[in-house]
Amino acid sequence: MKRLFTLVAVAVTLLVAVNVSAQTNGAAAPSNQVLSKMELQRLAAEAQTREEHTKLSEYYLKSAERRELEAAEYDSMATSYAAHSSGSNKSARRASAAAFQGAQHCRNLAALARKAAAEDRALASLHASHATDQHSH
């Protein structure tokens, strides 16, 4: 049971680290400028110039990279949970069931992070295309 609690504590610590990292690295734009949420919303609604679409494209590419790292961290956590999902006595079976559920939860979160990364890449591509269109006009 101690192992399960330790494993859960490590998982929670990793999740907090991922969230803090995403918040601090969250919105890098060209030239290491920070793109605020307000600026992101404004650009998403009103982008017209090549530079504006390029900023959005770069923002979404960075977001996709963060989400892919997050997915890899969830995969690693799922592997850790799965390593503790066997047991013979009643207490070990209970811990095993919790570890199995933890592994499945982490696999689900990894899949969601990968789907979000794919959506970010699609938005990045869209804005890159708009930037190219603006450049050719």
Q: Does residue 5 fall inside a structural domain?
A: no
pLDDT digits (tens, 9 = 90+) for 66-114: 999 999 999 999 999 888 766 666 777 777 888 899 999 999 999 999 9
Q: Does residue 54 fall inside a structural domain?
A: yes
Q: Does residue 46 fall inside a structural domain?
A: yes
pLDDT at 129: 94
Nearest in space to 98 (alpha carbons), one of 116, 85, 83, 88: 85
Number of domains in the chain: 1
Q: Does residue 126 fall inside a structural domain?
A: yes
Tokens 């992101």: give the residue.
40
3-class SS letters over the chain: CHHHHHHHHHHHHHHHHHHHHHHHHCCECHHHCECCHHHHHHHHHHCCCHHHHHHHHHHHHHHHHHHHHHHHHHHHHHHHHHHCCCCCCHHHHHHHHHHHHHHHHHHHHHHHHHHHHHHHHHHHHHHHHHHHHHHHC
Q: Does residue 13 fall inside a structural domain?
A: no
pLDDT at 27: 42
Cβ partners under 8 Å of residue 27, min gap 6: 34, 35, 36, 37, 40, 59, 62
Q: Does residue 11 fall inside a structural domain?
A: no
Q: Does residue 3 fall inside a structural domain?
A: no
Residue range of the domain that includes 47? 27-136
Q: Does residue 109 fall inside a structural domain?
A: yes
Residue type, 6: T
Distance from C-alpha of 119 to C-alpha of 72, rounded to nearest angstrom: 17
Q: Evaluate if residue 53 carries a pLDDT over 60.
A: yes
Residue type, 4: L
Whether residue 81 contacts residue 99, with contact meaning beta carbons closer than 8 Å, is answered with yes
